[in-house]
Structure 1
Amino acid sequence: MAIRGVLFDLDNTLLNRKQAFERYARYLIEQYAHVNNDDELEAYVASMIRADQNGYRSKKELYTELRDTLPLKDAATTVEQLLQTWFTQFSSFTVHMDGALDILEALRNDGYRLGLITNGSSGSQHGKIDRAGIRHYFDALIVSDDVGVKKPQPAIYAIALERLGLTPEESIYIGDHPINDIQGANAAGLRAVWLEGFMQWPQGGAAHPHVIYHLSELRSLLMELNRGA
């Protein structure tokens, strides 16, 4: 069956969360921590990036650790203050993935229906979407916090497909996470494309899906799959 709908992950797929978090980490440390020199700053930034675990760690746990380990300018700084900085400031560091706007524009012009499925808090994810200026591209936009279910659960894909008016067989999903994105989409009946470069494929996991290394490769892949259909 020909592909009519293209659904995307958000972080490290359409937005470069890795770059955004590095910039944000530098900002947070400069705001709250006493740093003696550039080398020390870079060491704290690297430590914060490791502690973040690519965004898959509890925010309260992360900022509790930072509160206890950073050399704070003000010893009275609370975890709640650090969390509030995250929720109010992180979206301002949003970075487009290279080629994201081009591929969204091209796919819209090609007549595909477009969807977005992302895990995360409503405020944080919607803030990034609006900061990136990409909301208008999507016929369905699903944030897990809004619907009470998250990837890799099949239900979140079903919600998106219902809003798009498409079946799984005529839809494809692109993301960077082998479990949440690729195995989740496959379990929901969609074809999946792995954007390699951010997450490791699990040892002993299912065979690789379609793989791209840059979003610019997606359009030709869709043409190839539709020719085969």
Structure 2
Amino acid sequence: MKYNKVVVFDLDDTLYNEVDYLKSAYYEIAQYVDANEFGLSDEMFQNYTNGSNVFKLLIGKYPAFAMDDLLYKYRNHLPSILPREGALELLLKLKQEKTILGLITDGRSVSQRNKLNALNITHFFDDIIISEEFGSEKPCIANYMFFEKYSADEYYYIADNVKKDFIGPNNLKWSTICIMDNGKHIHKQQFNLEQVFLPKHQITKLSDAYNIIK
């Protein structure tokens, strides 16, 4: 069956702000390590912003805990995160128009699935590609070519990381859309790269993507 449009999204710092995942994980770990230490999660986040090794400093303060314990909590906790402004509205509008929706995200299966469940958006997507499950990470073109099975007239990829997100879909002649940093992105955006890495469109809010796709 041939489809008109396929719209594929990135997850982290596209459909939600990844810094909120960090804060959620730090709060969970702080409660696990010392629930009575008020402000411990804020201290952890401050250490992160300073470029320090957060878990190494925490173990120095609480030597009874091992690195593996903290990493397990970080990767497996059910985060307290919310969709980025306009994300749900865009997904709902596209779904109502019978658009094929996909997701391509790098990371561990349990972490990325927990994020999707916390955001309550799994049901919007026809296919979800998570690097640990799929066997390759962006910018591997196979992650994008998976969606070519729909033989659509138009393909779109909405993401944020200029270094790795757009080179694959650009080579496949997809329309690529970059959601600009709202001041909260984990990875700073750099546009002084070769043309093949650069998105065809830049937007400041997700709702603007609809005007490109429609």
Same fold (TM over 0.5): yes
Query: What is the aligned partner in structure 1 of residue 125 from structure 2?
Result: 138
Matched, 1:211 2:211: no
Query: What is the aligned partner in structure 1 of residue 90 from structure 2?
Result: 103
Cα distance in 2, alignment partners of residues 50 and 110 from structure 1: 45
Structure 2 counterparts to residues 19-38 of structure 1, below 5 A: 19-29=20-30, 31-32=32-33, 38=39
TM-score (norm 2): 0.83
Residues 208 and 133 (structure 1), Cα distance of their counterparts in 2 relative to 1, 3 Å cut: closer
Alpha carbon RMSD of aligned pairs, Å? 2.7
Larger helix proportion of the pair: 1
Cα distance in 2, alignment partners of residues 13 and 66 from structure 1: 25
CA contact (8 A) 1:67 1:77 kept: no
The alpha carbon displacement at 1:18 in A equals: 1.8
CA contact (8 A) 2:108 2:130 kept: yes
Query: What is the aligned partner in structure 1 of residue 44 from structure 2?
Result: 44
Query: What is the aligned partner in structure 2 of residue 179 from structure 1?
Result: 163
CA contact (8 A) 2:33 2:62 kept: yes
Structure 2 counterparts to residues 146-157 of structure 1, below 5 A: 146-157=133-144
Give the fraction of aligned pairs with identical amino acids, expressed as a percent: 25
TM-score (norm 1): 0.78
CA contact (8 A) 1:33 1:71 kept: no
Note the residue ranges of structure 1 that are not aligned, 5 or more in a row.
Answer: 53-64, 224-229
Query: What is the aligned partner in structure 2 of residue 166 from structure 1?
Result: 151
Note the residue ranges of structure 2 that are not aligned, 5 or more in a row.
Answer: none
Residues 71 and 118 (structure 1), Cα distance of their counterparts in 2 relative to 1, 3 Å cut: closer
Structure 2 counterparts to residues 34-73 of structure 1, below 5 A: 38=39, 42-49=42-49, 51=51, 65-70=53-58
1:181 counterpart SS class = coil
Cα distance in 1, alignment partners of residues 167 and 135 from structure 2: 20
